Chains A and B, each alone.
Chain A
Amino acid sequence: MSDLETPSPTDPSGLGPEVRQSLMGRYDLAQKAGGLLAPVLTAVLAFFVGGLVVFATTGKNPLATYRAIFDGAGFNWFFPWVTGLERSNAAANMQQTLIITTSLILTGLAVAFAFRCGLFNIGGTGQYIVGAVLGVWLGSSFAGMNSFLHILLAIVAGSLGGAIWAGIAGFLKATVGAHEVISTIMLNWIAIWVGVFLFGLGGPLQNDTQTYVPISNDVLDSAKLPVFWGDPLLQGLHVGFFIALGALVVFWLLLNRTTLGYGVRAVGFNPEAARYGGISVPTNYFLAMAISGGFAGLAGAIDILGWQFRLATGDVQGVSIGFVGIAVALLGRNTAIGVALSALLFGGLLTGTSTRNLDPEIFKPELASNLTLLIQGLVVLFVGADIIVLWLMARVRRRRPA
């Protein structure tokens, strides 16, 4: 690929830190320089600025607001002194938080995996939709099928669908050099409008009973993921949560314990050195995108089989989980453990600020969900400006006598 062969300008001063031009290289540097502190500081800064906005716009005490969000997300379930009705409420909230955390882990991993190959997968939304569409289609077909096989079929198909969807972008990148940011965004829109067509009035996958409602058939009981915590009728926590935890392990093993992961990381850090070493850069671009899409497709299928059970055209158009995945991956520094923690943080935020959970006495829920978006945006901003955070840290360090 000719664009990889332009000579790099060597550092004229000859003494700056090693030239780190790659996207992953920069993240690696940030990670090493800041360690765990930098992402934590990023989150704290985002919450702090969010608090300032709360105070400035509503005059409410930001701490009370955050406390309400904390309780709304069910995090108070961890406190042993919370008992009785409060405890069962907390448990219900926690289940909701973990349901969202499940899909955020997977869409976060989707972004993170591509990132490790130096690619920016913005197509989580489209890949998620493809996974959800396949999940609802297969999950609502094959009545009487063995439950385990039914679930397996729908999940594998959803994941494969996402992989193929992202694989298209990877293939285009590998063969003609089409930038993955552009192609994944376009694939998002294709997925959205195909979904609207499929479930829309007269669409091929519209439900069989209510012909005036643009919605899919319901997922059959045999394809529903078993609920292991809480009431299945009240959206308890389904076993998809463990699939997400398993995906974290797979992500880590794949990157650090397989030859495939070695190639992906080598290309992500330094495509030119990888090429020199005999690693095919285009192949790895394709593989990384496909695997990345597999995680996002899995998220779509699991959400359908776990708690949504049906897909309306409005749902398809409203999918935002793919984008939150970007913030999750960025804050989680593209590592398995980081993605897990930041998915929990964002899962809690989304649940804690939803209309159902937040105490309206404290904060207007419709404002509160905007607060989530605000914090989400601030996180992306601060992570993108990791240099600022690192600079602040360096300043503090300099003030302290060594």
Chain B
Amino acid sequence: MADESRTVLEMRHITKRFPGTVANDDVDFDLREGEVHALLGENGAGKSTLMNILYGLYHPDEGEIEIAGKPVRLGTPRAAIDAGVGMVHQHFMLIPVMTVAENIVLAEEPTHGRAFLDLREANRRVTEISERFGLAVDPKATVQDISVGQQQRVEILKALYRNADILVLDEPTAVLTPQEAKELFEIIRGLTAQGKSIIFISHKLNEVTEVADRITVLRRGKKVETLPAAGATEESLARLMVGREVLLRVEKGVSHPTEVLLEVEDIHVFDDRGIQKVRGLSLAVKAGEIVGVAGIDGNGQTELIDAMTGLRKVAAGTVTVGSKDVTHDSAFGHFHAGLGHIPEDRQRRGLVLEFSIAENIALHDYRKAPDSRFGWLYPRRLVQRAARLIREYDVRGGGPATPGGSLSGGNQQKVVLAREIDRNPLVLIAAQPTRGLDVGAIEFVHRRLVEERDEGRGILLVSLELEEILSLSDRILVIYEGEIVGEYTPDATEEELGLAMTGGGRGQEEVA
């Protein structure tokens, strides 16, 4: 936008060290009035550290910050808010049982005589700012009843209510549907038109080029470059982020599906609270194909995966792996029937963080020869296998004895991948296999999944990232409220899928 406009924020020579790493190394960052400045970088590049410094959560070891031309010391979030900085976290900080207005005015409530909450005034003020900035919300609605996209608006309004001029949006589209993301971009344009300045943190290249005016790329704690968004391509940005050429498109040939390896028939699954999450769902995965399951978070994907992998009771229906009925088997039974499972949450489930890489790789097979015999473990054999897989899968940052927890996210995922694939499973269930990974690691995981498909495994990919589903899958199933509501070919558009994901595509199945 306007290049001559006033600079509202200037961060100079910011350095922040943590034991063992330099999270920010002499980083400069500035923000002009009315612009969207995207902060781009892989995980661990230092984006969040920089923004947490701006929000008063961390103190920089070196460097200075100026807001509206005045040097400031942001010791606490309170100081940052007072200086006009608002932050919308990736995970919302809202109280679900309170109303929209109550959440927005929280800690700065209008009162009668400093003692009694003036709800009418709160509703009035919320309505006023929501109209002024074009963020339609119902102030009296309870937060838990509104959609994720609306909750995000509430977060933005919360910042605006506190007179934020600088808004930090941390990966704001991660939780949104494509349609909601479009609406968010409209909101962002509206805000900048009214003079607000926005820092947009993301690792999604297409969004950044769409919404930002300028882009700053961080890599390993250092600023690589600040460039105007006009003229930047996804390829050039990826190269800046990773430091080398990256293949953004997955290269894959035509699939040649053969026999059915995973068959789920009419299963019903309940969650921990006894609410039915999967309602009579059926699907089949054949050898040599990648089947993608697209859907918005919370539509039964987690329960479906758990039920298919023996981690949750199947109330009705059957699950067959190969030719074996494993419906009522434990996770152990599933693994030994030929299932591989890349879990949704590698820190909570995929790895024992305190275990060494060697021990983590032995997780499914430590009770069998050659890992052990008659209950006696042979650690050296564990180490040998780990050493081989570390080489094969290019795991960096440690050897067989390194604890899983000290690896980066991408390398942790490589360990999980190595373990699951090396067992030579018939079917691989990959749940959000690239969540939180950086571009380089995503490329690795995607390539590997396609290779395994070509090896003749069946792969079920469950992901919240539509782009990932579209670029990897040979067939796409859309899950909505615990049911498969449509099957699509990979040339379906994001809009088509997005509509089906929100229940709009019901009934109009388009079978490949």
Give the B-binding residues of A (Cβ under 8 A): 2, 5-10, 12-15, 18-20, 24-25, 28, 256-262, 265-266, 269-270, 272-280
Contact = CB atoms under 8 A, between A and B. Distances in A.
Given A10-B91, A18-B347, A277-B363, 4 more contacts: A18-B405, A24-B354, A25-B354, A273-B348
A135 B432 CA distance: 57
Given A9-B91, A10-B91, A20-B405, A275 B331 contact: yes
B405 A259 contact: no
23 contacts: A5-B272, A12-B90, A15-B48, A15-B52, A18-B347, A20-B405, A256-B377, A257-B376, A259-B375, A266-B363, A269-B354, A270-B354, A273-B352, A275-B331, A276-B311, A276-B343, A277-B331, A278-B310, A278-B333, A278-B363, A278-B364, A279-B332, A280-B332
A258 B57 contact: no
The 5 closest A-B pairs by CB, nearest first: A278-B332, A277-B363, A18-B405, A269-B354, A12-B91
Interface residues of B, number: 50
Interface in B34-50: 43-44, 48-49
Given A2-B272, A257-B379, A262-B359, A278 B49 contact: no
B372 interface: yes
B351 interface: yes
B355 A278 contact: no
Contacts of B348: 8, 19, 270, 272-273
Nearest to B435: A10
A280 B91 contact: no
Contacts of B377: 256-259, 261-262
Contacts, number: 110
Interface in B347-369: 347-355, 359, 362-364, 366-367
A14 B23 CA distance: 13
A265 B379 CA distance: 14
Contacts of B331: 275-278
Contacts of A265: 352, 355
Nearest to B351: A273
A243 to B, nearest CB: 22
Contacts of B286: none
B355 A269 contact: yes
Nearest to A12: B91
Most buried by B among A12, A261, A265, A274: A12
A251 to B, nearest CB: 15
Interface in B303-360: 306, 309-312, 330-336, 341, 343, 345, 347-355, 359
A13 B355 contact: no
B89 interface: yes
A385 B276 CA distance: 43
Contacts of A260: 375
A259 B355 CA distance: 14
A280 B330 contact: yes
A262 B90 contact: no
B372 A259 contact: yes
Given A2-B272, A20-B405, A276 B349 contact: yes
A267 to B, nearest CB: 9
Most buried by B among A266, A272, A276: A276
B347 A19 contact: yes
A198 B331 CA distance: 47
Contacts of A20: 353-354, 405
A14 B45 CA distance: 11
A164 B436 CA distance: 46
Nearest to B309: A276
A25 B334 CA distance: 28
A250 to B, nearest CB: 13
Contacts of A5: 272, 306, 311-312
Contacts of B379: 256-257
Contacts of A19: 347-348
A320 to B, nearest CB: 32
A276 B350 contact: yes
B376 A270 contact: no
B333 to A, nearest CB: 8
Interface in B167-196: none
A32 to B, nearest CB: 8
B349 A272 contact: yes
A269 B330 contact: no
A27 to B, nearest CB: 9
Nearest to B372: A259
Contact of A274 (B272, B333, B336, B352): B352
A132 to B, nearest CB: 30
Nearest to B345: A8
Contacts of B359: 262
A269 B349 CA distance: 11
A272 to B, nearest CB: 5
Contacts of B310: 278
A266 B352 contact: yes
Contacts of A13: 48, 52, 57
Interface in B64-109: 89-91, 93
A288 to B, nearest CB: 15
A97 B341 CA distance: 54
A269 B93 CA distance: 29
A14 B309 CA distance: 28
A277 B364 contact: yes
A260 B375 CA distance: 7
Contacts of B351: 270, 273
B89 A12 contact: yes
